[in-house]
Structure 1
């Protein structure tokens, strides 16, 4: 198998944004797997995983969320400098971080996965929305924390058609990474 190493000037950072349960990680993992078939220099970053990597040292209040977003942003910049493509799945509550990243990496492609809140509450893979409804947790984006909808995403995916509808976007995003000039 021959691998094509994609270099600077090609699409490197894909920043996938959405509320909890929107499908960010599912889509990111599928895109990375597809790209990795021909281009091994791709990394997946997930906001929840990065929290774990750093020993869950941050909470979910706004200051902690800002710190985790900053970590993700700095990791993306560092990996960009190493000629690595990055597909990042992150809640992304801070428009200023997105703007900074867009300016500071080789190439940036923002994907907003928009899913109706009712669908997210029905899916509730992590049980987050149920815990919020019972009063067991707070600081939930889209409920008691404002989620600033991205104003200038490069792609908006309306995820209200189930898994197949979401997975229909894997090939176009992966091809964009592989074929970018």
Structure 2
């Protein structure tokens, strides 16, 4: 619900279609979702590098980075997680409107939140990428020691430990990072973008 009153949407003079024509490629959001430690940020950034090298206008929105700025006022309650994802969805939409391929790396644990973001986009613009990695494997990696802290009770509401993760019901792409390399995951994502004629 919008709190502001007396506001009117002002259509931009240059359209999304015109930006895509100038760029010579489509625009979309690659929404990487999965447990902490599953490889979301690593793959999102690796995809971004390959897009950049091929002249594709791209940008990465990373969960931790966004919480240092735009969403620094939010915690990790269910309500704050929902607001975190809502804001990112709106930012991602702006990037897609600008003609870019934007990759996002957020746990985004709730299906309803991801569905709400999907509704912001036109058909084929929201590409849900499930970074599927077993909890045990994510804990074994635990480079940030977050799972260890959560197991000791030092972090409350940690996804996968004492807060649920709802796996995507029907993602466009599923990347199983326990079984494939980062390079293979990147190839899988890029192949999808080519098949859909986005790049």
TM-score computed with the length of structure 2 as normaliser: 0.80
Kindly tell me: are residues 99 and 55 of structure 1, through their superposed partners in 2, closer, same or farther at Cα, counting changes over 3 Å? closer
The CA deviation at 1:102 is 2.6
- 1:160 aligns to 2:178 (yes or no): yes
What corresponds to 1:85 in structure 2? 101
Deviations 1:72-94 (A, max 9, x none): 11111111111111111111123
d(CA) in 1 for partners of 2:173 and 2:52? Answer: 22
**Structure number with bigger Rg:** 2
What corresponds to 1:20 in structure 2? 36
Deviations 1:137-176 (A, max 9, x none): 1111111111111101111122213xx6233121231344
- 1:130 aligns to 2:148 (yes or no): yes
SS state at 2:131 partner: strand
What corresponds to 1:36 in structure 2? 52
- 1:58 aligns to 2:74 (yes or no): yes
d(CA) in 2 for partners of 1:92 and 1:49? Answer: 15
SS state at 1:44 partner: strand
Query: How many pairs align?
Result: 174
Which structure's relative contact order is higher, taking Cα pairs within 8 Å and 6+ residues apart? Answer: 1
d(CA) in 2 for partners of 1:70 and 1:47? Answer: 13
What corresponds to 1:105 in structure 2? 121
d(CA) in 1 for partners of 2:176 and 2:88? Answer: 24
d(CA) in 1 for partners of 2:160 and 2:72? Answer: 22
In angstroms, what is the RMSD of aligned CA positions?
1.9
Kindly tell me: are residues 21 and 136 of structure 1, through their superposed partners in 2, closer, same or farther at Cα, counting changes over 3 Å? same
What corresponds to 2:139 in structure 1? 121
TM-score computed with the length of structure 1 as normaliser: 0.87
Deviations 1:52-100 (A, max 9, x none): 1237221111111111111111111111111111111111123233223
d(CA) in 2 for partners of 1:155 and 1:85? Answer: 16
> Where in structure 1 are there 5+ consecutive unaligned residues?
none
> Where in structure 2 are there 5+ consecutive unaligned residues?
1-21
Kindly tell me: are residues 138 and 48 of structure 1, through their superposed partners in 2, closer, same or farther at Cα, counting changes over 3 Å? same
- Runs (4+) of structure 1 exceeding 6 A deviation are none
SS state at 2:102 partner: strand
